[in-house]
Copies of this chain bind each other. A is one copy, B any other.
Amino acid sequence: MSAPLLALLDGSIVDVATPLIRADDLGVVRGDGVFDAMLVRRGVLGDTDAHLDRLARSAEILALPAPDRDGYRRAVDALVAAWDWDAAPEALARLVLTRGPEGGGDPTAYVLMLALSASVVAERTDGVRVLLLDRGFDGEVVAGMPWLLPGAKSLSYSINMAAKRHAHEHGADDVLFVAPSGRLLEGPTSTLVLDVDGELLTPEQDGILASITLEQLERGAPAAGLSVRHAPLTRDDLARARGAWLISSGRLAAAITSIDGAPYPASPLHETLFRILDV
Protein backbone atom coordinates (compact mmCIF):
# COMPACT_ATOMS: atom_id res chain seq x y z
CA MET A 1 0.00 0.00 0.00
CA SER A 2 1.49 3.32 -1.07
CA ALA A 3 1.71 6.06 1.56
CA PRO A 4 -0.47 9.12 0.97
CA LEU A 5 1.07 12.16 -0.70
CA LEU A 6 0.29 15.77 0.11
CA ALA A 7 0.57 18.84 -2.11
CA LEU A 8 -0.03 22.52 -1.47
CA LEU A 9 -1.62 24.85 -4.02
CA ASP A 10 1.80 26.26 -5.04
CA GLY A 11 2.52 22.80 -6.43
CA SER A 12 4.99 21.78 -3.72
CA ILE A 13 4.91 18.23 -2.35
CA VAL A 14 5.25 18.19 1.44
CA ASP A 15 5.58 15.35 3.93
CA VAL A 16 2.13 14.19 5.02
CA ALA A 17 3.55 13.19 8.42
CA THR A 18 4.52 16.80 9.17
CA PRO A 19 1.60 18.68 10.75
CA LEU A 20 0.01 21.16 8.34
CA ILE A 21 -3.03 22.49 10.16
CA ARG A 22 -3.38 24.72 13.23
CA ALA A 23 -5.24 23.38 16.26
CA ASP A 24 -7.73 26.27 15.98
CA ASP A 25 -8.46 25.76 12.28
CA LEU A 26 -12.25 25.85 11.84
CA GLY A 27 -11.93 22.83 9.56
CA VAL A 28 -10.97 20.83 12.67
CA VAL A 29 -12.89 22.41 15.51
CA ARG A 30 -16.13 22.94 13.54
CA GLY A 31 -15.86 20.63 10.51
CA ASP A 32 -16.21 23.96 8.71
CA GLY A 33 -14.91 23.44 5.19
CA VAL A 34 -15.53 21.51 1.98
CA PHE A 35 -13.87 18.80 -0.06
CA ASP A 36 -14.14 16.85 -3.26
CA ALA A 37 -12.62 13.55 -4.38
CA MET A 38 -11.53 12.54 -7.86
CA LEU A 39 -10.26 9.22 -9.21
CA VAL A 40 -6.87 9.20 -10.96
CA ARG A 41 -5.96 6.00 -12.83
CA ARG A 42 -2.37 5.41 -13.95
CA GLY A 43 -1.83 9.15 -13.95
CA VAL A 44 -4.91 9.90 -16.05
CA LEU A 45 -7.21 12.43 -14.43
CA GLY A 46 -10.98 12.23 -14.46
CA ASP A 47 -13.08 15.29 -15.20
CA THR A 48 -11.08 17.79 -13.11
CA ASP A 49 -13.34 20.66 -14.16
CA ALA A 50 -16.44 18.89 -12.89
CA HIS A 51 -14.83 18.28 -9.49
CA LEU A 52 -13.53 21.87 -9.26
CA ASP A 53 -17.01 23.10 -10.21
CA ARG A 54 -18.58 21.02 -7.44
CA LEU A 55 -15.92 22.17 -4.94
CA ALA A 56 -16.78 25.76 -5.88
CA ARG A 57 -20.53 25.08 -5.43
CA SER A 58 -19.88 23.51 -2.01
CA ALA A 59 -17.73 26.49 -1.02
CA GLU A 60 -20.46 28.89 -2.12
CA ILE A 61 -23.10 27.06 -0.05
CA LEU A 62 -20.84 27.40 3.03
CA ALA A 63 -20.02 31.05 2.20
CA LEU A 64 -16.33 30.20 1.82
CA PRO A 65 -14.04 32.07 -0.60
CA ALA A 66 -14.04 30.66 -4.13
CA PRO A 67 -11.42 27.89 -4.43
CA ASP A 68 -8.19 28.73 -6.27
CA ARG A 69 -8.79 26.52 -9.30
CA ASP A 70 -5.32 27.01 -10.78
CA GLY A 71 -3.78 26.20 -7.41
CA TYR A 72 -5.75 22.96 -7.07
CA ARG A 73 -4.70 22.02 -10.63
CA ARG A 74 -1.06 22.69 -9.77
CA ALA A 75 -1.32 20.52 -6.66
CA VAL A 76 -3.03 17.67 -8.54
CA ASP A 77 -0.48 17.83 -11.38
CA ALA A 78 2.38 17.70 -8.86
CA LEU A 79 0.84 14.67 -7.17
CA VAL A 80 0.26 12.88 -10.48
CA ALA A 81 3.94 13.45 -11.37
CA ALA A 82 5.21 12.30 -7.95
CA TRP A 83 2.96 9.23 -7.49
CA ASP A 84 4.30 5.73 -8.14
CA TRP A 85 1.67 4.45 -10.58
CA ASP A 86 3.21 0.98 -10.80
CA ALA A 87 2.95 0.52 -7.03
CA ALA A 88 -0.61 1.91 -6.88
CA PRO A 89 -2.28 2.21 -10.30
CA GLU A 90 -5.42 3.88 -8.91
CA ALA A 91 -5.59 6.78 -6.47
CA LEU A 92 -8.08 9.27 -5.11
CA ALA A 93 -7.18 12.96 -5.13
CA ARG A 94 -8.97 14.64 -2.24
CA LEU A 95 -9.26 18.42 -2.59
CA VAL A 96 -9.70 20.14 0.80
CA LEU A 97 -10.65 23.74 1.67
CA THR A 98 -11.29 24.90 5.25
CA ARG A 99 -12.32 28.30 6.64
CA GLY A 100 -8.88 28.63 8.27
CA PRO A 101 -7.98 29.70 11.83
CA GLU A 102 -10.84 30.77 14.09
CA GLY A 103 -9.36 34.17 14.86
CA GLY A 104 -9.11 35.03 11.16
CA GLY A 105 -6.55 34.33 8.46
CA ASP A 106 -6.37 32.57 5.14
CA PRO A 107 -8.41 29.46 4.33
CA THR A 108 -6.47 26.20 4.48
CA ALA A 109 -6.21 24.48 1.09
CA TYR A 110 -4.44 21.33 -0.03
CA VAL A 111 -4.77 18.09 -1.98
CA LEU A 112 -4.17 14.60 -0.58
CA MET A 113 -3.52 11.65 -2.85
CA LEU A 114 -4.40 8.23 -1.45
CA ALA A 115 -4.09 4.79 -3.01
CA LEU A 116 -7.51 3.31 -3.72
CA SER A 117 -7.95 0.57 -1.15
CA ALA A 118 -8.13 -3.05 -2.32
CA SER A 119 -11.53 -3.39 -0.63
CA VAL A 120 -12.97 -0.54 -2.72
CA VAL A 121 -11.55 -2.04 -5.93
CA ALA A 122 -13.04 -5.42 -4.97
CA GLU A 123 -16.50 -3.88 -4.64
CA ARG A 124 -16.54 -3.31 -8.42
CA THR A 125 -16.66 -7.06 -8.97
CA ASP A 126 -18.00 -8.42 -5.67
CA GLY A 127 -20.65 -5.77 -5.08
CA VAL A 128 -21.82 -4.51 -1.68
CA ARG A 129 -24.11 -5.77 1.06
CA VAL A 130 -26.26 -2.80 2.02
CA LEU A 131 -28.18 -1.77 5.14
CA LEU A 132 -31.16 0.58 4.79
CA LEU A 133 -30.87 3.31 7.44
CA ASP A 134 -33.18 6.22 8.15
CA ARG A 135 -31.41 9.56 7.48
CA GLY A 136 -33.80 11.36 9.82
CA PHE A 137 -34.85 13.96 7.23
CA ASP A 138 -36.59 14.24 3.88
CA GLY A 139 -34.42 15.39 0.98
CA GLU A 140 -37.09 17.50 -0.69
CA VAL A 141 -37.79 19.29 2.61
CA VAL A 142 -34.20 20.22 3.48
CA ALA A 143 -33.56 21.25 -0.14
CA GLY A 144 -35.34 24.51 0.71
CA MET A 145 -33.35 25.12 3.91
CA PRO A 146 -29.93 26.57 2.97
CA TRP A 147 -28.78 26.68 6.63
CA LEU A 148 -28.77 22.85 6.57
CA LEU A 149 -26.22 23.00 3.70
CA PRO A 150 -28.08 20.65 1.32
CA GLY A 151 -25.99 19.72 -1.70
CA ALA A 152 -22.65 20.71 -0.14
CA LYS A 153 -19.81 18.23 0.31
CA SER A 154 -18.77 19.63 3.69
CA LEU A 155 -16.03 18.33 5.99
CA SER A 156 -18.76 17.53 8.58
CA TYR A 157 -19.00 13.87 7.58
CA SER A 158 -19.09 12.21 11.01
CA ILE A 159 -22.64 10.89 10.48
CA ASN A 160 -21.67 9.41 7.11
CA MET A 161 -18.73 7.68 8.79
CA ALA A 162 -20.89 6.51 11.72
CA ALA A 163 -23.46 5.02 9.34
CA LYS A 164 -20.73 3.03 7.57
CA ARG A 165 -19.40 1.79 10.93
CA HIS A 166 -22.95 0.76 11.85
CA ALA A 167 -23.18 -1.22 8.60
CA HIS A 168 -19.85 -2.99 9.26
CA GLU A 169 -20.99 -3.91 12.76
CA HIS A 170 -24.13 -5.46 11.28
CA GLY A 171 -22.59 -7.64 8.59
CA ALA A 172 -22.94 -5.16 5.74
CA ASP A 173 -20.49 -3.13 3.65
CA ASP A 174 -22.37 0.07 3.06
CA VAL A 175 -25.55 2.04 3.69
CA LEU A 176 -28.47 3.32 1.67
CA PHE A 177 -30.10 6.27 3.46
CA VAL A 178 -33.89 6.44 3.42
CA ALA A 179 -36.01 9.47 4.39
CA PRO A 180 -38.69 9.20 7.11
CA SER A 181 -41.23 9.49 4.26
CA GLY A 182 -39.84 6.27 2.76
CA ARG A 183 -38.06 8.04 -0.12
CA LEU A 184 -34.70 6.56 -1.09
CA LEU A 185 -31.88 9.12 -0.75
CA GLU A 186 -28.21 8.18 -1.28
CA GLY A 187 -25.30 6.31 0.30
CA PRO A 188 -22.99 8.08 2.78
CA THR A 189 -20.43 8.46 -0.05
CA SER A 190 -22.35 7.26 -3.11
CA THR A 191 -25.40 7.67 -5.37
CA LEU A 192 -28.12 5.06 -5.96
CA VAL A 193 -29.07 3.76 -9.41
CA LEU A 194 -31.87 1.21 -9.99
CA ASP A 195 -32.59 -0.98 -13.01
CA VAL A 196 -36.38 -0.90 -13.31
CA ASP A 197 -37.53 -2.83 -16.38
CA GLY A 198 -34.33 -1.91 -18.21
CA GLU A 199 -34.51 1.78 -17.44
CA LEU A 200 -31.95 3.31 -15.05
CA LEU A 201 -33.64 5.31 -12.29
CA THR A 202 -31.95 7.50 -9.68
CA PRO A 203 -33.41 9.65 -6.86
CA GLU A 204 -34.30 13.29 -7.46
CA GLN A 205 -31.23 15.30 -6.38
CA ASP A 206 -33.15 17.38 -3.84
CA GLY A 207 -31.22 17.77 -0.61
CA ILE A 208 -28.67 15.15 -1.66
CA LEU A 209 -25.30 15.49 -3.36
CA ALA A 210 -25.06 16.04 -7.11
CA SER A 211 -23.06 13.06 -8.38
CA ILE A 212 -20.33 13.54 -10.98
CA THR A 213 -20.27 9.77 -11.61
CA LEU A 214 -23.99 9.99 -12.39
CA GLU A 215 -23.36 12.79 -14.87
CA GLN A 216 -20.83 10.53 -16.56
CA LEU A 217 -23.40 7.73 -16.67
CA GLU A 218 -26.01 10.07 -18.13
CA ARG A 219 -23.60 11.20 -20.85
CA GLY A 220 -22.54 7.67 -21.78
CA ALA A 221 -25.90 5.92 -21.51
CA PRO A 222 -27.51 6.81 -24.89
CA ALA A 223 -24.61 5.37 -26.94
CA ALA A 224 -24.95 2.14 -24.94
CA GLY A 225 -28.69 1.99 -25.57
CA LEU A 226 -29.56 2.95 -21.97
CA SER A 227 -31.55 5.80 -20.49
CA VAL A 228 -31.20 7.41 -17.06
CA ARG A 229 -34.08 9.22 -15.37
CA HIS A 230 -34.48 11.03 -12.02
CA ALA A 231 -37.57 9.91 -10.14
CA PRO A 232 -38.98 9.94 -6.63
CA LEU A 233 -38.03 6.41 -5.52
CA THR A 234 -39.31 4.38 -2.57
CA ARG A 235 -38.67 0.99 -0.95
CA ASP A 236 -41.29 -0.42 -3.36
CA ASP A 237 -39.12 0.59 -6.31
CA LEU A 238 -36.16 -1.11 -4.67
CA ALA A 239 -38.28 -4.25 -4.28
CA ARG A 240 -39.42 -4.34 -7.91
CA ALA A 241 -36.07 -3.39 -9.50
CA ARG A 242 -34.05 -5.97 -11.45
CA GLY A 243 -30.90 -4.79 -9.69
CA ALA A 244 -29.26 -1.71 -8.19
CA TRP A 245 -25.86 -0.04 -7.75
CA LEU A 246 -24.09 2.43 -5.52
CA ILE A 247 -21.96 4.58 -7.81
CA SER A 248 -19.14 6.94 -6.79
CA SER A 249 -15.88 8.37 -8.08
CA GLY A 250 -13.66 5.71 -6.50
CA ARG A 251 -15.47 2.42 -6.91
CA LEU A 252 -17.30 3.54 -10.08
CA ALA A 253 -20.22 1.08 -9.68
CA ALA A 254 -20.80 -1.51 -6.96
CA ALA A 255 -23.80 -3.78 -7.49
CA ILE A 256 -25.99 -4.21 -4.41
CA THR A 257 -25.90 -7.94 -3.56
CA SER A 258 -28.02 -7.91 -0.40
CA ILE A 259 -30.29 -5.51 1.46
CA ASP A 260 -30.72 -5.84 5.23
CA GLY A 261 -29.34 -9.39 4.96
CA ALA A 262 -31.68 -10.59 2.18
CA PRO A 263 -30.09 -11.47 -1.20
CA TYR A 264 -30.72 -8.90 -3.93
CA PRO A 265 -30.81 -9.70 -7.65
CA ALA A 266 -28.04 -8.82 -10.11
CA SER A 267 -29.14 -6.63 -13.01
CA PRO A 268 -28.44 -7.94 -16.53
CA LEU A 269 -27.26 -4.40 -17.32
CA HIS A 270 -24.29 -4.53 -14.94
CA GLU A 271 -21.58 -5.06 -17.58
CA THR A 272 -22.96 -2.30 -19.80
CA LEU A 273 -23.29 0.18 -16.94
CA PHE A 274 -19.83 -0.61 -15.59
CA ARG A 275 -18.26 -0.18 -19.04
CA ILE A 276 -19.71 3.34 -19.32
CA LEU A 277 -18.02 4.36 -16.05
CA ASP A 278 -14.78 2.39 -16.49
CA VAL A 279 -12.98 4.77 -18.84
Q: Which residues of A contact B (CB under 8 A)?
A: 3-4, 6, 16-33, 35, 62-63, 94, 96, 98, 102-103, 110, 112, 114, 133-138, 141-142, 145-149, 154-163, 165-166, 175, 180
Contact A158 B149 (CB under 8 A): yes
Which chain B positions have C-beta within 8 A of A23? Answer: 6, 16, 20-21, 96, 110, 112
Q: How near does chain B come to A16, taking the closest CB pair, in angstroms?
A: 6
Q: How near does chain B come to A104, taking the closest CB pair, in angstroms?
A: 11
Q: How near does chain B come to A171, taking the closest CB pair, in angstroms?
A: 15
- A sample of 17 more A-B contacts (CB under 8 A), given A29-B112, A63-B162, A156-B158, is A6-B24, A20-B23, A21-B21, A21-B22, A23-B96, A29-B35, A30-B155, A31-B155, A31-B158, A32-B158, A133-B147, A137-B180, A138-B180, A147-B166, A149-B159, A155-B158, A156-B156
Q: How near does chain B come to A29, taking the closest CB pair, in angstroms?
A: 6
Give CA–CA (A98, B24) in the complex, Å. 13
Contact B16 A24 (CB under 8 A): yes
Classify the interface of chain A: helix, strand, loop or mixed: mixed
Contact A29 B148 (CB under 8 A): no
Q: How near does chain B come to A3, taking the closest CB pair, in angstroms?
A: 8
Which chain B positions have C-beta within 8 A of A149? Answer: 158-159, 162
Q: How near does chain B come to A25, taking the closest CB pair, in angstroms?
A: 7
Which chain B positions have C-beta within 8 A of A138? Answer: 136, 180
Give CA–CA (A23, B30) in the complex, Å. 16
Supposing A4-B102, A142-B136 touch, asked if A161 and B21 sit within 8 A by C-beta, the answer is no
